[in-house]
């Protein structure tokens, strides 16, 4: 099986790559999920920001509100930015038959799912913040839900695309969760200090 | 005459085969049945509210009849985006039209069941039962009807398997929380016999702390309950002397 990576009309000879035996390049390339566009990723970040802003309305004082509003974006997007390369590198290292686009696309789909859930629960959060003093609980539960949605969709996309067991991806999810919690505490500490 | 026949036919289908109202193109169904379902939900809830108001009588009858429809409709409006997002994340591809139609059918069916069962509640209230028994009877009726509505909504929404089950559980939790808190915000539905009648109380504390305090009291722990004014809509200055 061969792949041509340059046009065949004139010019230099096409580069031909021959995959090593035992690797299922063709099958796995067929399953590459579509990498989400920049606009859809920005929409997802917007959904997270909307959820943060809705819950922050209940925080006491401007400083606490600012920090609370940043928690979903910083906690989730920050964790994905910091740990995403590990997922990609892990796939390149441990699963060389998987196209590089697969983990990238899975991360994008996970972010999209998190943004979609965050935007969906934003009106619910606004209602609870407007009628109760439970903004911190709403923020925590909503953030946990978006994180779970992100992890679930990322795992599902990877499993669907690779057709393999998650394996080390579970370790990555654990690492990403720890990094996310650390970032959340760092960003939300001011809000927690002021909160009653 | 045609409109009344249409309403009767819709009510019959709501009780007999509610899933049939959700078949076909959801936008067309929503256009066709939406206003009628909304009317059925509002009128049925208002009838039930009127019956609830008979416990105190007088102007409370009108107040309860106005607020009960809001109790059913606020959770739909607030949780509609969340229900759609949760279903999509769980792999159930639904759009707003499908979710709105399913929620409307579920709400209308629940309100209709409550309305037709309201004479039983009226009978109970006419026996001059205690305030707490009256509140418990109201809560039980609402929970039972809410269960019917949520079950109907879940049946109409597409999808199957574990994904739909998880999405339904999350949706029930979201709707349940908003329903409970809406009831708390819109209270009193049943005014205490000697209390001053008011359309709504000030926004204070939340339904969860109230339930916790009731639970403590039921176990003999009467440590009291600090119902502070909280939330964006509350007026904290009202607490200050």
What tens-digit pLDDT sequence spans chain B (241 residues)?
Answer: 556 657 888 888 889 889 888 788 888 888 888 899 999 999 999 999 999 999 888 888 999 999 999 999 999 999 999 999 999 998 888 888 999 999 999 999 999 999 999 999 999 999 988 888 888 899 899 999 999 999 999 999 888 888 889 999 999 999 999 999 999 888 888 877 777 788 888 777 788 887 777 777 767 777 766 666 677 777 656 554 4
Inside any domain, residue B145: yes
Inside any domain, residue B195: no
Cβ distance A133 to B82 less than 8 Å, yes or no, reads no
Whether residues B115 and B230 fall in one domain: no
Closest residue to A128, CB basis, from B85, B89, B181: B181
Q: Does A14 touch chain B (CB under 8 A)?
A: no
* A178 vs A28: which has the higher pLDDT: A178
**Helix/strand/coil for A16:** strand
Q: Does A149 touch chain B (CB under 8 A)?
A: yes
CA distances from B234 to A57, A58, A138, B237 (A): 13, 11, 17, 9
Domain count, chain B: 2
Whether residues B176 and B219 fall in one domain: no
Whether residues B35 and B130 fall in one domain: yes
In the numeric block, which tokens belong to residue A31? 């399953």
Please provide the distance, in angstroms rounded to a whole number, between the alpha carbons at the two ends of chain B: 60
Average pLDDT of A29-39?
Answer: 67
In the numeric block, which tokens belong to residue B47? 């009838």
Helices (H), A135-195: 135-162, 168-194
Cβ distance A58 to B231 less than 8 Å, yes or no, reads yes
Q: By CA distance, what is A141's nearest residue in B?
A: B174
Inside any domain, residue B38: yes
ipTM here: 0.82
Helix (H) or strand (E) holding A126: helix A101-131
Cα separation, B88 vs B172, in Å, equals 15
Q: How far is A116 from chain B (nearest CA, A)?
A: 6
Helices (H), B127-221: 131-156, 161-186, 207-218
Best residue in A131, A134, A153, A157 to probe B by mutation, most B CBs within 10 Å?
A131
* Residue corresponding to tokens 């079950």: B151
Domain that holds residue B220: 202-241
CA distances from B35 to A153, A171, B75, B114 (A): 37, 51, 18, 20
Could you write out the DSSP letters of every residue in B129-150?
Answer: --HHHHHHHHHHHHHHHHHHHH
Inside any domain, residue B193: no
CB atoms under 10 Å from CB of A13, counted, come to 7
Cα separation, A54 vs A190, in Å, equals 18
Whether residues B167 and B214 fall in one domain: no
Cα separation, A31 vs A28, in Å, equals 5
Whether residues B9 and B72 fall in one domain: yes
Q: Does B227 touch chain A (CB under 8 A)?
A: no
Cα separation, B34 vs B231, in Å, equals 33
Q: Which residues of A touch B82 (CB under 8 A)?
A: 117, 120-121, 123-124
Whether residues B95 and B27 fall in one domain: yes
In the numeric block, which tokens belong to residue A82? 């910091």
Inside any domain, residue B52: yes
Per-residue pLDDT, B238: 55
Average pLDDT of A171-189?
Answer: 91
CB atoms under 10 Å from CB of A166, counted, come to 15
Inside any domain, residue B194: no
Output DSSP code: residue B21.
G
Q: Which residues of B touch A153 (CB under 8 A)?
A: 89
Q: Round the average pLDDT of chain A to a whole number and report it.
A: 81
Inside any domain, residue B47: yes
Q: Does B164 touch chain A (CB under 8 A)?
A: no
Best residue in B76, B79, B80, B82 to probe A by mutation, most A CBs within 10 Å?
B82
Burial class (CB in 10 A: 0-12, 13-18, 19+), B187: middle
Whether residues B129 and B102 fall in one domain: yes
Q: Nearest Cα to B72, choosing from B153, B18, B171, B146?
A: B146
- Spatial contact of B125 and B134, defined as CB atoms under 8 Å apart: yes
CB contacts < 8 A, A to B, total 75
Best residue in B167, B232, B236 to probe A by mutation, most A CBs within 10 Å?
B232
Q: By CA distance, what is A196's nearest residue in B?
A: B230
Inside any domain, residue B215: yes
Whether residues B178 and B235 fall in one domain: no
Rg (CA), chain A: 20
Q: By CA distance, what is B203's nearest residue in A?
A: A131
Asked if omega into B188 is within 30° of 0 (cis), the reply is yes
Cα separation, B50 vs B60, in Å, equals 8
Q: What region does A60 belong to: left with phi over 0, alpha with psi -120 to 50, or beta?
A: beta
Q: Does A43 touch chain B (CB under 8 A)?
A: no
Cα separation, A50 vs A59, in Å, equals 15
Whether residues B215 and B171 fall in one domain: no
Closest residue to B81, CB basis, from A123, A129, A133: A123
Whether residues B159 and B218 fall in one domain: no
* Residue corresponding to tokens 């899933």: B19
Whether residues B75 and B44 fall in one domain: yes
Whether residues B153 and B74 fall in one domain: yes
Paired with A4 in beta bridges are A16
In the numeric block, which tokens belong to residue B55? 């416990």
Q: Does B187 touch chain A (CB under 8 A)?
A: no
């Amino acid at each position: 099986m061969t792949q041509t990576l340059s046009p065949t009309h004139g010019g230099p000879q096409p580069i031909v790559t021959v995959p090593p035996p035992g690797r299922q390049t063709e099958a796995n390339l067929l399953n590459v999920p579509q990498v989400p566009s920049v606009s859809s990723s920005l929409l997802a970040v917007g959904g997270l920001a909307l959820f943060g802003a809705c819950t922050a309305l209940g925080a006491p004082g401007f400083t606490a509100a600012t920090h609370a509003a940043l928690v979903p974006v910083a906690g989730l997007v920050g964790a994905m930015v910091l740990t995403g390369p590990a997922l990609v590198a892990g796939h390149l290292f441990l699963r060389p038959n998987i196209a590089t686009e697969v983990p990238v696309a899975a991360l994008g789909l996970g972010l999209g799912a998190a943004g979609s859930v965050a935007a969906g629960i934003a009106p619910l959060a606004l209602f609870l913040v407007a009628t109760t003093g439970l903004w911190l609980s709403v923020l925590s539960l909503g953030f946990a839900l978006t994180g779970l949605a992100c992890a679930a969709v990322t795992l599902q996309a990877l499993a669907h695309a690779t057709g393999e067991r998650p394996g080390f991806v579970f370790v990555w999810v654990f690492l990403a969760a720890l990094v996310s919690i650390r970032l959340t505490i760092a960003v939300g500490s001011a809000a927690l200090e002021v909160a009653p | 005459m045609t409109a009344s026949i249409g309403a009767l036919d819709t009510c019959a289908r709501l009780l007999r085969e509610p899933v049939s109202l959700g078949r076909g193109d959801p936008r067309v169904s929503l256009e066709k049945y939406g206003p009628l379902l909304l009317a059925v939900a509002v009128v049925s809830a208002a009838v039930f509210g009127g019956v609830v108001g008979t416990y105190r009588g007088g102007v409370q009858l009108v107040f309860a009849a106005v607020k009960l429809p809001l109790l059913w409709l606020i959770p739909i409006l607030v949780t509609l985006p969340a229900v759609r997002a949760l279903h999509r994340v769980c792999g159930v591809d639904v759009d707003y039209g499908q979710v709105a139609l399913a929620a409307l059918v579920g709400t209308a069916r629940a309100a209709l069941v409550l309305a037709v069962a309201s004479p039983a509640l009226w009978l109970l209230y006419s026996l001059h039962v205690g305030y707490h028994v009256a509140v418990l009877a109201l809560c039980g009726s609402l929970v039972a009807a809410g269960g019917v509505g949520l079950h109907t909504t879940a049946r109409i929404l597409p999808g199957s398997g574990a994904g739909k089950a998880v999405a339904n559980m999350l949706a029930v939790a979201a709707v349940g929380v908003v329903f409970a808190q809406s009831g708390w915000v819109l209270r009193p539905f049943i005014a205490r016999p000697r209390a001053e009648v008011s359309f709504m109380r000030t926004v204070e504390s939340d339904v969860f702390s109230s339930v916790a305090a009731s639970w403590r009291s039921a176990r003999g722990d009467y440590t009291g309950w600090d119902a502070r004014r909280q939330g964006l809509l509350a007026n904290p200055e009202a607490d200050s002397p």
